[in-house]
């Protein structure tokens, strides 16, 4: 296994119990993880062409002139080459994926690489921008999750790129290396599809790079790195009505120092250093859960992670001032307490799937069914988004499909086949819309409130039995949701392969939904009867 794949393994899931708790050990552990992130980021090839930064000049007259993504421009400046140990890894990514202008208006270089662990391909993007300063991008990235943590509401409420912060489970700043947070995140699919939940270990640093990034006399540039790892946390048990997804990612911004920044802020003479181009690199892969085939997730990923950039810039660029991440900490805590007390996710807000063109959606988990096309523009896991748009609107697909038909596709398809063998249903592709589809899945997705009372916290045999019943109920709901998603995906596959028999497949789908609903009601009724019986025993 190559050094790059070994590094990517370090982005994998972790249990909170395995995270060092004392400051010294945690500081060392985080430092090693940021070194891994540096290697991964330096492995992504720079955009083709361009000029050495020592021969480049800023193209903007003053900092932060862009007020939207359309006013941000690609820079010809290129950074100093990294240490050969890192630079030699750039050939691992191969050639950029070809994307049409509609999918990739900013002309971002996007790459795909097969994984070595049978968990799906990795995707990366890299670009150099002018029109927005590194200070503004950094502050916006630091504020992004705080923006949603300060808002209560349904899953994904207040999100910038799709996934919103529901709760901060832990926070540590062990030293000067950076900050660590354990976050409970969520994303809402409009329409009948189940909301997703992500438990994430988020590490951030402005002191993540080493001399492996630069050579000779060149100083380490200003930068900001974000590492996301799937997390198991004792305070984040499975929430009823959610499907758990995962994502792994490294995201980094760094300046190309055409005008070196002063060592101290007080030494600044003017703001020429804020004219420096900003290099933006991201590497990711995701699993939205619920039995969605991996090959479908990967098919839409390149366009999704390109759209993710526009989504973020359209939010950040117009802001004259971006508050600190903890500027409204009281409001964040109040909103998080409301989330904790919320027993079931609110219904998805009504959205017009035709009102938002796909290009505006962007992000990670854009649409699972035709009725869900409004999407979930997501943060770094931008690898689950828009994967059904190409199926529902093939005339909009301007990408060159042959460009990604390399060895990584074969490995990814093998992963999808393994996924099918392990899953409940051989789901193929997401469902198109349709009144019958929406009606049946809305009914199925409705969460029963009969047993949604607070779990008893006592230690008596009756209390333990009641907790077990509620856990069994949550398992039934999760299993039904998974089968619901699988049937919707299978329906879309049949519709694409055999469009003339849509009515037949729709009827089969509706029948399957009805059977699932009947099974759900029967199993929940048994549990409810068992629950009432246990309560009656306890009251004797």
Which pLDDT belongs to residue 329?
A: 67
Which pLDDT belongs to residue 199?
A: 93
Which pLDDT belongs to residue 56?
A: 83
Q: What is the pTM of this model?
A: 0.68
Residues contacting residue 68 through CB under 8 Å, at least 6 positions apart = 313, 314, 317, 318
Using DSSP's 3-state secondary structure scheme, residue 205 falls into: strand
CB 385 within 8 A of CB 376: yes
How many whole angstroms separate alpha carbon 77 and alpha carbon 426?
48
Which pLDDT belongs to residue 114?
A: 92
Q: Which of 89, 91, 130, 127 is nearest to 107 (CA)?
A: 127
Which pLDDT belongs to residue 166?
A: 82
Interior angle at CA 455, CA 451 and CA 459, nearest 5? 135
Task: For tokens 């038909």, name the residue.
Answer: 405
Q: What fold, for 3-260+277-419? A: Alpha-D-Glucose-1,6-Bisphosphate; Chain A, domain 4 (3.30.530)
Q: Which of 173, 404, 205, 447 is nearest to 302 (CA)?
A: 404
Which pLDDT belongs to residue 339?
A: 61
Task: For tokens 């409705």, name the residue.
Answer: 446
Which pLDDT belongs to residue 454?
A: 41
Q: Where in the chain is the domain with CATH 3.30.530.20?
A: 3-260+277-419
Which pLDDT belongs to residue 158?
A: 60
Q: How far apart are the first and last CA of the chain?
A: 63
Which pLDDT belongs to residue 307?
A: 84
Residue 453 CB: number of other CB atoms within 10 A?
12
Which pLDDT belongs to residue 226?
A: 96
Residues of the chain with pLDDT under 50: 267-268, 347-456
């Amino acid at each position: 296994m190559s050094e790059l794949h070994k590094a990517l393994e370090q982005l994998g899931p972790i249990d909170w119990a395995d995270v060092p708790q004392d400051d010294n050990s945690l500081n060392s552990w985080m430092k090693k993880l940021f070194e891994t992130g540096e290697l991964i980021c330096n492995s992504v090839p720079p955009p083709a062409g361009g000029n050495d930064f020592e021969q480049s000049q800023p193209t903007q007259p003053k900092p932060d002139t862009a007020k939207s993504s359309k006013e941000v421009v690609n820079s010809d400046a290129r950074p100093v080459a990294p240490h050969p140990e890192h630079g030699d890894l750039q050939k691992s990514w191969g050639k950029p994926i070809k994307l049409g202008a509609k999918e990739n208006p900013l002309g971002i270089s996007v790459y795909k690489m097969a994984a070595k662990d049978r968990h799906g391909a990795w995707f990366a993007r890299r670009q150099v921008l002018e029109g927005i300063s590194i200070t503004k991008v950094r502050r916006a990235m630091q504020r992004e999750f705080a923006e949603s943590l300060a808002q209560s509401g349904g899953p994904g409420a207040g999100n910038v790129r799709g996934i919103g912060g529901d709760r901060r489970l832990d926070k540590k700043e062990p030293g000067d290396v950076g900050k660590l947070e354990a976050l409970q995140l969520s994303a809402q699919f409009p329409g009948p599809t189940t909301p997703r939940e992500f438990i994430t270990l988020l590490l951030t640093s402005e002191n993540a790079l080493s001399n492996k990034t630069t050579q000779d006399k060149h100083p380490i540039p200003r930068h900001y790195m974000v590492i996301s790892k799937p997390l198991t946390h004792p305070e984040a048990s499975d929430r009823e009505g959610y499907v758990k997804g995962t994502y792994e990612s490294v995201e980094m911004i760094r300046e190309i120092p055409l005008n070196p920044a002063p060592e101290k802020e007080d030494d600044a003479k003017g703001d020429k250093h804020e004219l420096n181009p900003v290099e933006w690199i991201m590497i990711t892969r995701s699993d939205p859960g619920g039995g969605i085939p991996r090959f479908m997730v990967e098919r839409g990923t390149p366009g999704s992670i390109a759209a993710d950039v526009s989504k973020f810039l359209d939010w950040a660029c117009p802001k004259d001032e971006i508050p600190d991440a903890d500027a409204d900490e009281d409001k964040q805590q109040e909103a998080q307490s409301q989330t904790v007390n919320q027993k079931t996710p609110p219904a998805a807000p009504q959205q017009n799937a035709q009102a938002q063109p796909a290009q505006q959606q962007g992000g990670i988990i854009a649409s699972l069914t035709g009725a869900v096309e409004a999407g979930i523009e997501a943060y770094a896991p931008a690898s689950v988004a828009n994967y059904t748009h190409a199926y529902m609107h093939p005339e909009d697909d301007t990408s060159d499909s042959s460009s990604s038909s390399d060895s990584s596709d074969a490995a990814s398809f093998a992963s999808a086949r393994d996924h099918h063998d392990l899953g409940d249903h051989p789901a193929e592709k997401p469902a198109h819309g349709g009144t019958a589809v929406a009606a049946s899945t809305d009914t199925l997705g409705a969460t029963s409130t009969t047993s949604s009372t607070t779990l008893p916290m006592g230690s008596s045999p009756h209390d333990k039995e009641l907790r077990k019943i509620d856990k069994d109920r949550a398992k039934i709901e999760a299993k039904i949701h998974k089968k619901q998603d699988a049937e919707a995906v299978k329906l879309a596959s049949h519709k694409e392969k055999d469009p003339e028999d849509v009515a037949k497949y729709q009827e089969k789908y509706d029948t399957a939904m009805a059977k699932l609903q009947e099974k759900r009601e029967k199993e929940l009724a048994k549990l409810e009867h068992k629950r009432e019986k246990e309560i009656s025993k306890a009251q004797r």
